[in-house]
Amino acid sequence: MTHPNLRFQARGHYERHVAKLHGALPTDSTPAVRIYEVSPRDGLQNESVIVPAEDKVALVRRLVAAGVRDIEVTSFVKPSWIPQLADAKTVIASLRDLYTRDDLRLWALIPNRRGLERAIDADLRHIATFMSASETHNKKNLNRTRRESITGLAEVIGTAKESGQTVRAYLSTVFGCPYEGDVNIEDTIALSLDLLSLGADEIALGDTTGMGNPGQVVEVVRRLTDAGVPVERIALHMHDTRGTALANVLAGYQVGVRTFDGSVAGVGGCPYAKGASGNAASDDLVNLFEAMGVHTGIQIDRLAAAGVFLAERLGRPLPGRYHQFHMGSSSDDDAQSQSA
Ligand code: MG
């Protein structure tokens, strides 16, 4: 069954589109696209600086205040694997007032049954699982074959659904594998259908290495929908490693995708480090869509301010283009006010 929130947003977009065609102004403020914010988890786990739990909590609250409604706040992996997120329990406990709100979805990434148990113990209602579309990346990253991953996820996703959780299933390396190069779309289709049949509510297609291009995005989305994957259950997690994230997002939008992942100010991965993640910047996505008249529900200035807050905590410049524009225009304002 389609997750009710996703279906509602897809319908809301359609209604607004029809209203515009008929010359009527849209009468509701339902966002037409959904921006899924990954900075507290995917962003910070790829930064060398470990941000204190209280600053992570402050970041999440700033994102919520900007209007972000889906935030991946942490990961329940072994603390020794990812020391940047070792404070998952503290962060979650400090956000209890937010994740019980019906208009917000706070998500945690979980690697296995143990991680799921920790998420359930913390009363989290939204979890994300992960595996790769390519066999070699799955083996290198998760030390198991894709079939073994699906078998493990059958138990994890089944248990999560029985516990009333919403489940997002990440599929990495859909648009290219650092070991294998091209990834067979047939494999992406088969794994997506497997994950949906296990109970996943949403498939997040990851361009892990930023190798994707807009033509490929169109082809992958069309082939998936032709194979029976509802477009409202597809999310795109694009990376800007080669400067193609926004173009890929726009291509996805034009073939009906309405959920896009972003990391405020493009946080996640040092530009000088091998394996830099290069997350699409959520402020870039919001600016793009709002400029097109596609409502995101997010206030760009407040989102950009959250990015400035994070850049200060990390002590390094962040790569997002809107973020840099915002920093420049803020300092212009300062200069003008000083000269006035
Ligand atoms: Mg990422």
CATH of region 30-338: 3.20.20.70
Ligand 1: distance of its center to the CA of 97 in Å? 27
Position 138, amino acid: N
Averaged pLDDT for residues 290-308: 97
Ligand 1: distance of its center to the CA of 211 in Å? 13
33: left (phi over 0), alpha (psi -120 to 50) or beta: beta
- Of 284 and 6, the structure prediction assigns the larger pLDDT to 284
At 83-131, the pLDDT tens digits run: 899 999 999 999 999 987 889 999 999 999 999 999 999 999 999 999 9
- Domain range list for the chain: 30-338
pLDDT, residue 20, reads 57
pLDDT, residue 7, reads 45
User: Residue 221 and residue 192: Cα distance in Å, rounded?
Assistant: 11
At 254-290, the pLDDT tens digits run: 999 999 999 999 998 655 555 556 899 999 999 999 9
DSSP state of 9: H
Non-local CB neighbours of 335 within 8 Å, separated by 6+ positions: none
Ligand 1: distance of its center to the CA of 178 in Å? 15
Catalytic residues: 270
Q: Where are the alpha helices (DSSP H) in 22-164?
A: 44-45, 53-66, 88-94, 96-99, 113-121, 135-142, 146-162
User: Residue 195 and residue 217: Cα distance in Å, rounded?
Assistant: 20
Ligand 1: distance of its center to the CA of 335 in Å? 36
Q: What does the radius of gyration of the chain's CA atoms come to, in whole angstroms?
A: 19
Ligand 1: distance of its center to the CA of 289 in Å? 20
| Mean pLDDT for the chain overall | 89
pLDDT, residue 65, reads 97
pLDDT, residue 269, reads 65
Ligand 1: distance of its center to the CA of 182 in Å? 19
Q: Where are the alpha helices (DSSP H) in 163-269?
A: 185-198, 214-226, 245-254
Averaged pLDDT for residues 295-304: 98
At 13-27, the pLDDT tens digits run: 555 555 555 555 544
Type and span of the H or E element at 108? strand 105-109
At 181-237, the pLDDT tens digits run: 999 999 999 999 999 999 999 999 999 989 999 999 999 999 999 999 999 999 999
pLDDT, residue 14, reads 55
Does the pLDDT value for residue 11 go beyond 70?
A: no
Ligand 1: distance of its center to the CA of 195 in Å? 20
Ligand 1: distance of its center to the CA of 203 in Å? 14
Residue among 48, 96, 103 nearest 73 (CA): 96
